[in-house]
C-alpha cells in the first residue's frame, strides 16, 4: 500500500512540474516576478480548477491604482480552453475580476464600468458602451 501511495505522489508531482502559465506575447517581462504567483492564487480562490495552465497576453499595469490588466484563457472542466477574457487583478486586495460579459449583452455596460475604475478599459482597448 505504501508503494502505491509513493508512486501516486511521484506521478502527481511530475504532472504538476510540467504545468506553467503561458505568456503568448512576452508581456509578462514588464511585471514584477512575484505578481504571477499571486494572480494564480487569486484564480484558485475564485474556483479556477487549473490556474497553472492559463494562457496570458497583453499584460500591463492599469492606469489608475494598483491593478494589473490583461487577457486570460482558462481551461474548462473538460480540459479545453474557453477563449480569452479580459481580467483585472487588484494588487492591494489580492483579488481578480474576469470580464465575462460581451458587447451587446445586458451586463456589458456595468462590467465595463467596473474595469474603467482600474484604467483597464484604456489599457486593454475594450469596446465602448452599447
**What is the value of pTM for the model shown?**
0.81
pLDDT for 38: 94
pLDDT exceeds 80 at position 13: no
Domain boundaries of the chain, sorted by first residue: 20-123
Q: How far apart are CA 52 and CA 67, in angstroms?
A: 20
| Mean pLDDT of all residues in 30-47 | 91
The tens digit of pLDDT for each residue in 51-91 reads 999 999 999 999 988 999 999 999 988 999 999 999 999 99
Quote the cell numbers at residue 64. 489608475
CA dihedral 69, 98, 13, 27 (to 10 degrees): -20
pLDDT exceeds 70 at position 41: yes
Quote the cell numbers at residue 77. 472542466
Asked if 115 and 99 count as a contact pair (C-beta separation under 8 A), the reply is yes
pLDDT for 80: 93
Q: How far apart are CA 63 and CA 96, in angstroms?
A: 16
pLDDT exceeds 80 at position 18: no
pLDDT for 97: 94
Q: How far apart are CA 96 and CA 90, in angstroms?
A: 6
Eight-state DSSP code of residue 51: G
**Summary mean pLDDT of the chain:** 84
- Provide, rounded to the nearest whole percent, the portion of the chain with pLDDT above 90: 52
Quote the cell numbers at residue 100. 465575462
With cut-offs at 50, 70 and 90, classify the pLDDT of residue 1: low
With cut-offs at 50, 70 and 90, classify the pLDDT of residue 32: confident
Asked if 59 and 67 count as a contact pair (C-beta separation under 8 A), the reply is no
Amino acid at each position: 500500500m505504501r508503494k502505491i501511495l509513493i508512486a501516486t505522489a511521484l506521478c502527481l508531482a511530475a504532472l504538476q512540474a510540467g504545468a506553467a502559465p503561458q505568456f503568448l506575447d512576452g508581456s509578462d517581462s514588464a511585471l514584477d516576478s512575484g505578481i504571477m504567483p499571486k494572480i494564480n492564487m487569486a484564480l484558485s480562490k475564485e474556483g479556477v480548477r487549473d490556474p497553472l495552465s492559463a494562457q496570458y497576453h497583453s499584460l500591463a499595469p492599469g492606469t489608475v491604482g494598483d491593478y494589473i490588466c490583461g487577457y486570460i484563457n482558462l481551461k474548462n472542466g473538460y480540459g479545453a480552453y474557453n477563449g480569452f477574457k479580459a481580467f483585472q487583478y487588484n494588487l492591494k486586495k489580492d483579488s481578480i475580476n474576469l470580464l465575462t460579459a460581451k458587447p451587446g449583452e445586458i451586463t456589458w455596460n456595468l462590467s465595463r464600468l467596473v474595469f474603467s475604475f482600474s484604467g483597464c478599459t484604456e489599457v486593454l482597448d475594450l469596446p465602448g458602451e452599447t
